[in-house]
Structure 1
Amino acid sequence: MPDWHELAACKLFPELDFIQPGGDGAKPAQRAAAELACRTICAVCPVRLQCAVGALERRERWGIWGGMDYQDRKLVAARFGYEPPGDPPEHGTHSRRVKWGCACVECKAGHALYEALRREKRRAEARARNVWAVPLVLATPLRVGRRLLPAGQLLLPLQVCTF
């Protein structure tokens, strides 16, 4: 335990829960009042900066630390180059690659697999809706304006919509 913990103002208020202000099952008004009390105590705490930096370095997910809740720590972490608070998912997953920015080989492979499955799902949905038109193949060259389309050229038929 860091020695600054002994100087923290929250140690003088053991009845307040800084990890889950308001406690389990608290109504929104009770939770807001408890958070305000915690933030007020943090505002005058002599070790507020050490507490906040420690929470950012440990990537604390829960509670009020240095006067900041999870959302505040998330914004400060993004602005000052800390890793975002919370527990990252397992390596080799799409969410760790995208949301946590992990560039390891396993996460890249997990992301590639996710994207391939997502694209295949979208293609299957499009095939089920029958939006893919079968292209026509020109048997002989065809002149269209100033252009000459060679034999074997693929043409996509346009579907005419009538309203």
Structure 2
Amino acid sequence: MKDGKSSELDKVLITWLKQRLSEGVELSRDLVREQARLYHEELGLNYQCDCSSGWLRRFKQRHGLKLRAVRGEKHSPDKEAAAAFVDERTNYNADETALFWKSTPRRALATDDAESPIGYKASKEWVTVLCCSDAGGTHKCTILVIGKSLRPRAFKGMV
């Protein structure tokens, strides 16, 4: 391994990298490059280091590091630490679904000796329904219904 002008920066950065990896922190390219910039400034090194993607590639080659895809969910999030930053009253979740309001059942009861019941052509008329609430479930927003017409006849008297 060539011991070049970046050896001091490399030593500090590889120590930080190993510490963070032992803590189970997932390190991205951008995070490593930003940390290298910070250490370069802190150490007051007298050469210019742009911490580019090329610099990172060479750093990884020098130290036998590889970028691997993240798989699975080995670690659970720290809910207590997140509670300091996340307020359940300001964290909302919304989800949409299709409601086929004219659809007939796809299954019907029949006796063992009877043939399969004859069905009807499936209606493709639907409305989109959006539900939203805060993380604590204390504030539930009004359900939003999106359809083709302003006041569908099927909803007469409901809205």
TM-score class, shorter: under 0.3
**Greater helix share, structure number:** 1
**Greater strand share, structure number:** 2
In the superposition, the TM-score normalised over structure 1's length comes to 0.27
